[in-house]
Structure 1
Amino acid sequence: MNTPDEVQPKLKLEQYLGIQIKRQRQAQELKLADVARIAGISQGMLSKIENAQVSTSLDILSRLCDVLGMPMSKLFSQYDQQGGSALLVKRDEGLEVVRRGTEKGHTYHLLNHTRGPKKSFEAYMVTMDDASEEFPTFSHPGTEFLHLLEGELVYRHGNQLYPMEAGDSLTFDGEIPHGPEKLVQVPIRLLSIMNYGTSGE
C-alpha cells in the first residue's frame, strides 16, 4: 500500500503523450480514423501512438495537436507538471531529433520537452561515433554552452578552433557559425545547452 510520501512513478513520454492525445480525441467524440486522415497518418499509426507502442516525430505530434485544437506547448508543459514542476528524463529516454547534415553517426537527444513559442532554452545530448564524418556549421539566436563528457574533438566557432577533451566546457554566441571541426577520439558524448534568452524585450 502506498504511503502519502511515496513518490509515484512518472509516465514515460510516449505513454503520457498517448494518454493525452486519446483523451483529447475522445473528449471531442472524434473517431480514430477521422483524426488520422486529417493529420495525414495511418489509422494504425495513430492507434500505436495512443497506446505508446511507437515513438513519433515532433512533426506528427504537431499535426495531431492541430487536428485536436491543442497547442503543442501545452501538451508538453502538462507532461512537465506531472506530480510537480520538475522534469526528469531518464538515461537514454531523451526524444531523438534530426538536425540538418547529421544523417550518419551523429544523433541528438532532446533532454527537455518544453517546446513552443516561449521556449527559453533547449538541452541536447549529442553522440558522435564516426570520426570521418564531415559536419555542417550551425547558427542560431542566443548563447550555446557545450560540456564534453566523453571523447576528444576540435570545435570551430567562427575562425577560431578549440581543442576539447572530456571535462572541458565551451560557451559562445550562437549567431556566429559553429560546429565540430574534427573528431579526434570517438565515441564522443557532448552536452549542448542553447539559451535563447529574451532578446527583443
Structure 2
Amino acid sequence: MTKKVNIMTDTNAAIVNEAISERIKLYRSQKKMSLDELSRRAGVSKGMLVEIEGCRANPSIALLCRLASSMGVSVADFVNVAGKPAVHLIDASDIPVLWKGEKGGSARLLAGTSGPDMVELWQWILHPGETFESPGHPEGTSELLHVCEGKLTLILSEETYVIMKGCSAVARTDAPHAYTNDGNEVAVFTMTVSERAR
C-alpha cells in the first residue's frame, strides 16, 4: 500500500507538486505508458497515480524514486533540476524541498542528471529526534554522505553507523535504510545518490 505522506501546505510545496504532476503526465505520455502499466511497473496503486497526476497528493521521496525508475527518468527530471546539455543553472528559489520533518527538518534536491542512469545531489537537515526511512532503492544504488553539522546515524540492513561532523560515508542503499538524528544538535548533511538503470 502506498501512503500519502508529508502533505505540505505552503506555496512552494504546491508549486513542486504541480511540477511533479505535470512531468509525470508528460513522461508517461511520451513513453506511451498507460496508468495501468505504470501502476504495475512501479508497484503503486492506480488510484494513487490518479491522485498524483491530479495534484491532489504529495508523494514521498521513495514513491517518486519508484515512479522515476519505472519510467527511465530521474526524480530530478520530475522537479526540473536535472542537468541539460552543456550547463543548467538552477536558481536557489527553484530548488525544491521534497521532504519536511515533524520538527523542522528538510530534504532539498539541489541538482541531478536526467535518468535512467542518474546522479542526484541532496541537502538534508534533521533536527534532534527526526528520522527519515527508505524502503531501499533499485539494485546497485549507492549514496555518498558528508556530515557538515552535528552527527548522523545511518541504519542499513539492521546495522547502525554513526557519521560525525566532517566525516563521510559510502553506502549501498538498495536495502531498507534510515537516517536519524539521535543527537542534541541539528544534523546537516549532503548526499549524492548514484543509480544505474536496470
- The amino acid of 2:129's aligned partner reads S
Q: Which residue of 2 aligns with 1:112?
A: 111
The separation in 2 between residues aligned to 1:153 and 1:76, in whole angstroms, is 28
Post-superposition shift, 1:183? 2.6
TM-score, normalising length: structure 1: 0.54
In structure 1, list runs of 5 or more residues that go unmatched: 1-53
The separation in 2 between residues aligned to 1:74 and 1:135, in whole angstroms, is 21
C-alpha root-mean-square deviation of aligned residues, in Å? 3.6
Q: Which residue of 2 aligns with 1:97?
A: 98
Post-superposition shift, 1:88? 3.7
The separation in 2 between residues aligned to 1:190 and 1:106, in whole angstroms, is 11
Q: Which residue of 1 aligns with 2:49?
A: none
2:140 corresponds to 1:139: no
Post-superposition shift, 1:134? 4.4
Q: Which residue of 2 aligns with 1:55?
A: 15
Contact 2:112 2:121 in 1 (8 A): no
Residue 104 to residue 119, structure 1, CA distance change in 2 (3 Å): farther
- Select the structure with the greater relative contact order (CA < 8 A; seq sep ≥ 6): 2
SS at match of 2:124: strand
Post-superposition shift, 1:112? 1.4
- The amino acid of 2:96's aligned partner reads L
The separation in 2 between residues aligned to 1:133 and 1:127, in whole angstroms, is 9
- The amino acid of 1:61's aligned partner reads E
The separation in 2 between residues aligned to 1:164 and 1:91, in whole angstroms, is 27
Contact 2:20 2:79 in 1 (8 A): no
- C-alpha deviations, 1:97-152, integer Å up to 9, x for none? 138xx55533111111545x5241222111112x1234434411211111111111
The separation in 2 between residues aligned to 1:75 and 1:132, in whole angstroms, is 28
Q: Which residue of 1 aligns with 2:119?
A: 121
Greater Cα radius of gyration, structure 1 or 2? 1
Q: After superposition, where does 1:29-44 map in structure 2 within 5 Å? A: none
- The amino acid of 1:108's aligned partner reads A
Q: After superposition, where does 1:3-18 map in structure 2 within 5 Å? A: none
The separation in 2 between residues aligned to 1:92 and 1:75, in whole angstroms, is 12
Residue 190 to residue 90, structure 1, CA distance change in 2 (3 Å): farther
Post-superposition shift, 1:76? 4.2
Q: Which residue of 2 aligns with 1:163?
A: 162
- C-alpha deviations, 1:37-96, integer Å up to 9, x for none? xxxxxxxxxxxxxxxxx83324333267479x778959948x844xx7123445575221
Q: Which residue of 2 aligns with 1:180?
A: 179
Identity across aligned pairs (percent)? 17
The separation in 2 between residues aligned to 1:157 and 1:95, in whole angstroms, is 26
List structure 1 segments (4+ residues) > 3 angstroms apart after TM superposition.
Answer: 63-67, 69-77, 87-93
Q: Which residue of 2 aligns with 1:34?
A: none
TM-score, normalising length: structure 2: 0.54
In structure 2, list runs of 5 or more residues that go unmatched: 1-13, 32-72
